[in-house]
């Protein structure tokens, strides 16, 4: 396993990590998750990702039960949660979501209880919140750090302007700004990582924990002939994935990319994940899996990384046609 520093922080994350979005409590049970997390940990994965909204809190409860049973030193792995959406679904009341001090503090306490841990290594603002002053968000996250309940705070799906505002406010107050962002990054979604965030990487230093490196499974090739039963795009409540992702032109590109993977003698998923982590501004790519074979295969992305020469990367860009223009 390769480990990378999370931006300018001292924290080191495995370049491949394991997350629970969609899978935990929807596609997998405790027994499945125990095996999958064990495979990941034994392969050197040291970051496990979660959020209050995943399966309405059940995902955190499942991960908490498994970690409680394991004989893993708490200092050997990194655990995260995220707050914004709440976990009560459509029944949520005004202060049970968002980034107010009330919700961030209460959501953190709830996450600690569900995950059965004393502290979170990473705690994210799962979206930005225009209804809450940035000073309130920054102060609240720093209060949680000072209380020892979280070690680093971050953002997820924030814009570059919002991240910069948080850093400016933190600097004015003599507090810590966000150390990490969790954006979507894959061969279909490149603009933020390769263009919008460049000045932040260069001037501020920021870690990134990437979600959906396989574009919700699209880059595995399993949707090339329709949507298989039991896949995440077939799940109730995830129709938006289908609407956003499964377009004929995207499938055509995936088919061409699969041919290239064959020429290299590797699988399409490992090529796609290796491409993601070939970006030096990626700290870690979060893997999601429902089967042991799937996880074991995806972990082989590290073996594919050395094959990504400048020529191979240029050919991938040509096939996909998704490389953003960088304005100087």
CB atoms within 10 A of CB 148: 9
The reported pLDDT for the residue numbered 327 is 61
Q: Please tell me the distance from the alpha carbon of residue 8 to that of residue 132, in angstroms, as a whole number.
A: 27
Contacts of 175 (CB under 8 A, 6+ apart): 138, 139, 142, 169
Catalytic residue among 54, 77, 152, 185: 54
Q: Strand locations in 216-310, DSSP E?
A: 284-287
Which residues in the chain show pLDDT less than 70? 225-247, 327-328
> How high is the pLDDT of residue 24?
84
List the structure tokens of 235: 């799940």
Residues 117, 67: Cα–Cα separation, whole Å: 9
Burial grade of 304 (CB within 10 A; 0-12, 13-18, 19 or more): buried
So what's the pLDDT on residue 235? 61
Q: Structure pTM?
A: 0.92
- Give the separation between CA 54 and CA 26, rounded to whole angstroms: 10
Work out the number of other CB atoms within 10 angstroms of the CB of residue 92: 14
Compute the chain's Rg from CA coordinates.
19
pLDDT at 262: 97
Q: What CA–CA distance (Å, rounded) separates 153 from 149?
A: 11
Beta-bridged to residue 208, according to DSSP, are 181
CB 73 within 8 A of CB 46: no
Rounded to an integer, what distance in angstroms lies between the CA atom of residue 13 and that of residue 45? 8
Phi, psi of 151 (to 5 degrees): -105, -40
Mark whether 119 is an active-site residue: no
pLDDT of amino acid 325: 87
pLDDT of residue 165: 98
User: What's phi and psi for 278, nearest 5 deg?
Assistant: -75, -15
Residue-wise DSSP of 28-72: B-HHHHHHHHHHHHHTT--EEE--TTGGGGHHHHHHHHHHHHS--
């Amino acid at each position: 396993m390769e480990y990378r520093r999370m931006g300018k922080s001292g924290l080191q994350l495995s370049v491949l990590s394991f997350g629970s979005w969609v899978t935990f409590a929807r596609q997998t049970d405790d027994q499945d998750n125990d095996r999958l997390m064990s495979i990941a940990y034994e392969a050197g994965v040291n970051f496990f990702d979660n959020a209050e909204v995943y399966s309405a809190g059940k995902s955190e409860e499942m991960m908490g039960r498994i970690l409680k049973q394991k004989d893993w030193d708490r200092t050997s792995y990194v655990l995260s949660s995220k707050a914004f959406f709440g976990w009560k679904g459509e029944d949520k009341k005004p202060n049970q979501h968002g980034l107010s001090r009330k919700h961030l503090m209460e959501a953190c306490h709830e996450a600690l209880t569900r995950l059965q841990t004393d502290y979170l290594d990473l705690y994210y603002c799962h979206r930005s919140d225009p209804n809450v002053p940035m000073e309130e968000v920054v102060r609240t996250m720093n209060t949680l750090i000072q209380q020892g309940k979280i070690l680093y705070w971050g953002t997820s799906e924030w814009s570059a302007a919002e991240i910069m505002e948080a850093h400016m406010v933190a600097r004015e107050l003599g507090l810590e700004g966000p150390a990490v962002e969790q954006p979507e990054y894959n061969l279909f979604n490149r603009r933020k990582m390769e263009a919008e965030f460049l000045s932040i990487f260069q001037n501020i230093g920021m870690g990134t924990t990437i979600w959906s490196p396989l574009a919700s499974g699209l880059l595995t090739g399993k949707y090339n002939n329709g949507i298989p039963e039991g896949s995440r795009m077939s799940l109730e409540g995830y129709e938006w994935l289908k609407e956003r992702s499964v377009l004929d032109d995207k499938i055509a590109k995936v088919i061409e990319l699969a041919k290239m993977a064959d020429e290299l003698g590797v699988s399409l998923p490992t090529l796609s994940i290796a491409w993601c982590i070939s970006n030096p501004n990626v700290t870690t790519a979060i893997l999601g899996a429902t089967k042991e074979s799937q996880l074991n295969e995806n972990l082989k992305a590290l073996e594919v990384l050395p094959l990504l020469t400048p020529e191979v990367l240029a050919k991938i860009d040509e096939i996909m046609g998704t490389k953003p223009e960088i304005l100087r």
